[in-house]
Amino acid sequence: MFEDEDLIRGVLSQDETWLKRFRERYEGFLFDYIIKRVEEEEDVEEILQDVFLAAIYSLPSFSGKSSLQTWLISITRHEVADFYRKRKIKKILFSHLPFLEKIADQALSPEMTMEEIEMKEKIIRCFLSLNEGYCQILRLKYIEGQKTQKIAAMLGKSAKAVESSLRRARHAFVKNWRNKKLNQETWSSFDQRELSLLAQSFGLDSSSL
């Protein structure tokens, strides 16, 4: 039976046999740990894969002050927390803005990790950086949940014209999202009424922005 020290040396050497042994030794234990905290087995498998990738990447910095199992548990705990953080952010996006699926993937990538409040604030900035018509029509459709016919009646337009405006507004929103200079504008430069409405919709206090 090999020791953890042998396992670490073998994994660090990128030897396929030792990589397999590393997974076999801890896979069952970590699976049991994750499935107690995550309902879907498919999600458990995905998290488990992320744990092993993170562990292999971080192993050169393993100090040995704790056991390898304890160290892996700390990585697993972080990955489970990250899973729920990402799920919550996706819920924030998709419940209000279902057309943002691709953007959600970008926001959740390691290069663009966002927390919940940051995500909400960026969404609000994207809305307020649109022209007044686009901001209003997207808010009515996706924040207030109004039907297209109702929006048409409210704005005195045809349903076809509203659909056309929504397409252009969605495109403009995505363009704003990708604008790296977006966060340079101060909150005071935006329409304060729209800011208040949007902040309330996302559970934020506009006076703190």
Buried b (16+ CB within 10 A) or exposed e, 72-81: bbebbeebbe
pLDDT score, position 111: 47
Fold of 97-208: Arc Repressor Mutant, subunit A (1.10.10)
**Contact criterion met (CB below 8 Å) for 150 and 196:** no
Single pTM value for the model: 0.56
CATH code: domain 4-91 is 1.10.1740.10
| Segments of the chain assigned to CATH 1.10.1740.10 | 4-91
Average pLDDT by stretches of 10, the chain with 209 residues: 86 92 94 94 93 94 92 95 79 66 56 66 88 91 88 94 93 84 77 84 77
| Segments of the chain assigned to CATH 1.10.10.10 | 97-208
